[in-house]
Each structure stands twice: as structure tokens, then as C-alpha cells.
A and B are shown apart, each in its own frame.
Chain A
Amino acid sequence: AAGVIQSPRHLIKEKRETATLKCYPIPRHDTVYWYQQGPGQDPQFLISFYEKMQSDKGSIPDRFSAQQFSDYHSELNMSSLELGDSALYFCASSSNFNSPLHFGNGTRLTVT
């Protein structure tokens, strides 16, 4: 069965640079969620989209922005990167708000 696809798998950036993470949801899933997970931490909700509109916003820094496109894929844009942004970034998708979330394999971002 198709799963959530995230790219890239690994990303190394320097402080103050920008990064773009991509997420391709499971086919026919119209809801996308972004989570950030620091080392030894639980996943923290950043933002979600439903039918290409932002549906919920969590602890996402103002330096980050995201959107969902017409083909339902989503991109998380991160600017002015800081060392503390180093983390695993997971995207998840679901077919509606009452359905289980399925997570992608994540993007490991390292900021040096």
C-alpha cells in the first residue's frame, strides 16, 4: 500500500539558511499534518491543512511557513535556521479528521 512520502530524508544546513521540506500524502488523503520531533522528545504539532487550506496551527515559529498545493502535497518552508531547529520533521496524512494519521519516514534536519 502507498505510504506518505517525504523528501529529502536528510538535510544539512547552516545557521541562517533556508530549507524546504516536502510531503506527498497517501492518495485520496486530503488532510496533512506536520510534526517536529527533537532528540528524545515527543512529536510536537506544527500545522495542518485540509483541502489546501490551513486547518490548525500549533507551535510553529514565525520563521516557518507551509502550504498545501492543488495535488495535495505540502511543503514546509523554514527560514533563518537556528541550531535548535535540528530535529526530525514528520508529515502525516489522513482521509478526514476522524481517520487515523499515517506518518511518513520523516526528514532529519541538521543545522550547523
Chain B
Amino acid sequence: GENVEQHPSTLSVQEGDSAVIKCTYSDSASNYFPWYKQELGKRPQLIIDIRSNVGEKKDQRIAVTLNKTAKHFSLHITETQPEDSAVYFCAPRGDRGSTLGRLYFGRGTQLTVWP
């Protein structure tokens, strides 16, 4: 299976600052790299994703960068706002036979944005 590590586990920033969360994975066959945002007691919501043939993708204040050689991808949030406070999960997906489609979640990063 896939070993996923996510850092940091907690991150506190001042409103307006940037936040970066890094995710490393072990399976070189992984080909899809999403980030989910989860507020307390709610469902994980897909906020951005990237595929293995792309190095960077941006959507307004959110961006994801991928380094396939080093097997890591990162979430970048600029101009953070208090409503960005949540737990963020990376969840790379493999491309091997019987585990096709399964997402392997990292342990999550609790982001707190102080006003």
C-alpha cells in the first residue's frame, strides 16, 4: 500500500499570511494528488487536485505543486482568512490493480488562522 506523511500536523498563521502543507508518498505509481478540507464534524471537501503530468495548478488563493521525482506535493494557501481554519488532508491515489481508485489519506494538518 501507500505510505503517506503530511507535515506539519498543526499550523497557526496570522490572517493574510501564507500557509504551506507538504505531503510525501511512497508509491511511485501514484498519479492523482488531491487536497481535502474538512471542518469539524463535516465531510471532506475537495479543494484542489493535480495529476501526474502537471507540475503546478492554481485556483485563486489555493495552489498545489507536485514533485514526482521526490514523491511529494504541497498545498499553498495565500492571503489566509479565518474561514480557512480547518483540517487539511492530502490523499494520493494509486494506479495499481486491485487498489485502483482508493485514496490514501495523510494524518491531516490542523490549520488555524488568527484574525
The answer to whether A48 touches B43, judged by C-beta atoms less than 8 angstroms apart, is no
A56-B98, A97-B100, A100-B34 given; A43·B45 CB < 8 A:
no
Chain A residues touching B, range = 20 to 34
The answer to whether B101 touches A48, judged by C-beta atoms less than 8 angstroms apart, is yes
Q: Does A62 contact B (CB under 8 A)?
A: no
A-B Cβ contacts below 8 A, count = 52
Q: Chain B 76-105 against A: per-residue CB contact (8 Å), 1 yes, 0 no?
A: 000000000000010000000011111111
Which residue of B44, B98, B102, B108 is within 8 Å of A90 (Cβ)? B44
Q: Does B46 contact A (CB under 8 A)?
A: yes
The answer to whether A56 touches B43, judged by C-beta atoms less than 8 angstroms apart, is no
A1-60 at interface with B (beta carbon < 8 Å):
31, 33, 42-45, 48, 50, 55-56, 58
B interface, over-half SS: loop
Q: Does A110 contact B (CB under 8 A)?
A: no
A100 to B44, CA, bound (A): 12
List residues of chain A with CB within 8 A of the CB of B41.
Answer: 88, 108
The answer to whether B105 touches A42, judged by C-beta atoms less than 8 angstroms apart, is yes
A interface, CB within 8 angstroms of B: 31, 33, 42-45, 48, 50, 55-56, 58, 88, 90, 94, 97-98, 100-106, 108
